[in-house]
Amino acid sequence: NSKTTQLSESIAYSNDAELAVDFCELLLSLPEIVRDVTVLFYIENMPINDIARALSLSSGAVRVRLTRARKLLSKIYKEELL
């Protein structure tokens, strides 16, 4: 049924849009020092070495910041679920 398909697609799009907004809000809640590398890595799909060059950091520093960002995002997400 085409109406059911349209409704399903609409709901899926709505959920995707809501998820994208939630993710953007989570990103904005990160400290700037880890937010920049996170946006470049996950949103811009930039390789770690390119991020390092763009931000004048070592690739190790970029990896450390990504790890810190993941931990913070996990903590914030878990707190929001409670």
Identify the DSSP state of 46.
Answer: -
Q: Does the model's pTM come out above 0.85? A: no
What local confidence, expressed as pLDDT, does residue 14 receive?
A: 53
- The tokens describing 45, both together, are 């799909």
CB 64 within 8 A of CB 55: no
- Tokens for 74? 């996990």
Nearest CA-CA partner of 32 in 63, 59, 58, 68: 68
Where residue 10 falls among pLDDT bands split at 50, 70, 90? very low
The pLDDT of residue 3 is: 45
Q: In sequence order, what E strands does the chain have?
A: none
